[in-house]
Amino acid sequence: MLPVTKSSIGIVQYPCKLGQRKDGVDQTPDRLLESISAIVQKESKNVRIYDSHKIRNLNRVQDDSHNEKHVFEANLALRELVFRSLHENDKTLNIGGDHSMGLGTLSAFLTAYPKDSLVIWIDAHADLNTRASSPSGNFHGMPLSFILGIDKDNAFPMTVHLNHQHLAYIGIRDLDPFEIETIAKLNIRTVTPAQLTTDSEFNVREFVKNFIGEGKTVHISWDVDSTDPSTEITSTGTTADGGIKCSHVKELIKAVTEHNTLVSLDVTELNLSLGANEEELRRSLDLTLDVIKFFIDC
Ligand SMILES: [Mn+2]
């Protein structure tokens, strides 16, 4: 484990929507940063902001025909920043941008903590497609196939892959055939929205205790589309009916930090250019900030 010298939080921005997207998800880091800065200042936390001009420039010149090359380049730059932040701060918040960021953030996390490290992926989707299996060709649906070593590319070399036994999915419900097959084959731990919302036998703390144990280092990747669009976050590109509550995300964060070290959180796919009306936009933003504040405070 890397030495933690400062009680501080690092904020890494991924202002990116690489992968055939025309929407405004790349604007989210800047939109969120102002509110987050206010939170950390109010609580007098030390904060370091990591902004990659390289990623911004790549995003600006993106061209779908070079989509793949740009995703890898952007995530190499992201990996470097996240790795630095993990080294320099006791907590790192990675704000996207789309979920292709998982490539850079998880890769940095695994390089910094190659042993005794686990990942919780909170999402409506499994993001486990390979380039060959993906029906859409969107990289934001593929990061975990690279992180687990199922798909590979020399343009994004990885020295450490995630062991599939160290991955748990929370909230997944909209899956492609290859993903269903792979999750079953590898027996990847999964918590469905129904378990969290309606199963009185299911206990979050018990789940975390069984899955993680004690004294481990944990990364959580939170895609806001994991939440139920009817009551929670609607400002996101690919909503799926059903879903969990933001309070479940906080409950997970709390349970993880009781006996383990949560070093980093991704917040991804919030898109404030989407939303039926002002009220939905406001709710999406407020709920996201509430989870971020909880992570900063825990
Ligand atoms: Mn996702």
Domain containing 97 — which CATH number? 3.40.800.10
Whether 269 is covered by a domain: the verdict is yes
Residues 6+ apart with CB under 8 A from 222: 122, 123, 249, 265, 266, 267, 268, 291
Task: Write down the pLDDT at residue 63.
Answer: 58
DSSP string, 276-291: SSHHHHHHHHHHHHHH
CA of 145 to the centre of ligand 1 (A): 12
Percent of the chain with pLDDT over 90: 79
Residue 243 has pLDDT above 70, yes or no: yes
CA of 255 to the centre of ligand 1 (A): 22
Q: State which residues form the domain around 279.
A: 8-297
pLDDT: which is higher, 113 or 136: 113
Whether 224 is covered by a domain: the verdict is yes
Compute the average pLDDT of residues 95-99.
Answer: 94
CA of 106 to the centre of ligand 1 (A): 13
Whether 64 is covered by a domain: the verdict is yes
Whether 21 is covered by a domain: the verdict is yes
CA of 167 to the centre of ligand 1 (A): 14
Task: Write down the pLDDT at residue 73.
Answer: 93
Q: Where are the strands (E) in 144-268, listed by range?
A: 167-170, 189-191, 217-223, 261-268
Q: Give the chain's mean pLDDT.
A: 92
CA of 183 to the centre of ligand 1 (A): 15
Chain centroid to CA 131: 20
pLDDT digits (tens, 9 = 90+) for 24-49: 888 899 999 989 988 888 877 889 99
CA of 6 to the centre of ligand 1 (A): 31
Whether 2 is covered by a domain: the verdict is no
Q: State how far the Cα of 197 lies from the Cα of 202, in Å rounded to an integer.
A: 9
The number of beta carbons lying within 10 Å of the beta carbon of residue 173 is: 17
**Checking phi first, is residue 127 left (phi over 0); if not, alpha (psi -120 to 50) or beta?**
left
Which has the minimum average pLDDT: 3-12, 274-283, 284-293? 3-12
- At 60, the pLDDT band (50, 70, 90 cuts) reads confident
Task: Write down the pLDDT at residue 43.
Answer: 78
CA of 148 to the centre of ligand 1 (A): 15
Q: State how far the Cα of 95 lies from the Cα of 78, in Å rounded to an integer.
A: 11
What are the φ and ψ backbone dihedral angles of 95, each rounded to 5 degrees? -115, 125
CA of 241 to the centre of ligand 1 (A): 15
CA of 42 to the centre of ligand 1 (A): 31
3-state secondary structure of 138: coil
CA of 5 to the centre of ligand 1 (A): 32
pLDDT digits (tens, 9 = 90+) for 72-90: 999 999 999 999 999 999 9
CA of 99 to the centre of ligand 1 (A): 5
Residue 195 has pLDDT above 90, yes or no: yes
Task: Write down the pLDDT at residue 24.
Answer: 83
Partnered with residue 191 across adjacent β-strands are 170
Task: Write down the pLDDT at residue 64.
Answer: 57
Task: Write down the pLDDT at residue 289.
Answer: 97
Task: Write down the pLDDT at residue 52.
Answer: 83
- At 18, the pLDDT band (50, 70, 90 cuts) reads low
Compute the average pLDDT of residues 171-198.
Answer: 97
CA of 225 to the centre of ligand 1 (A): 7
Closest CA to 96 of 131, 143, 129, 149: 143
CA of 123 to the centre of ligand 1 (A): 5
Q: In what helix (H) or strand (E) does residue 92 lie, and over which residues does it extend?
A: strand 91-96
pLDDT digits (tens, 9 = 90+) for 223-238: 999 999 999 999 999 9
CA of 94 to the centre of ligand 1 (A): 14
Whether 244 is covered by a domain: the verdict is yes
Start-to-end CA span in the chain (Å): 20
Task: Write down the pLDDT at residue 205.
Answer: 96
CA of 3 to the centre of ligand 1 (A): 30
Task: Write down the pLDDT at residue 260.
Answer: 97
Whether 177 is covered by a domain: the verdict is yes
Task: Write down the pLDDT at residue 6.
Answer: 57
Residue 178 has pLDDT above 80, yes or no: yes
Task: Write down the pLDDT at residue 158.
Answer: 97
Task: Write down the pLDDT at residue 108.
Answer: 98
Whether 3 is covered by a domain: the verdict is no
Counted domains in the chain? 1
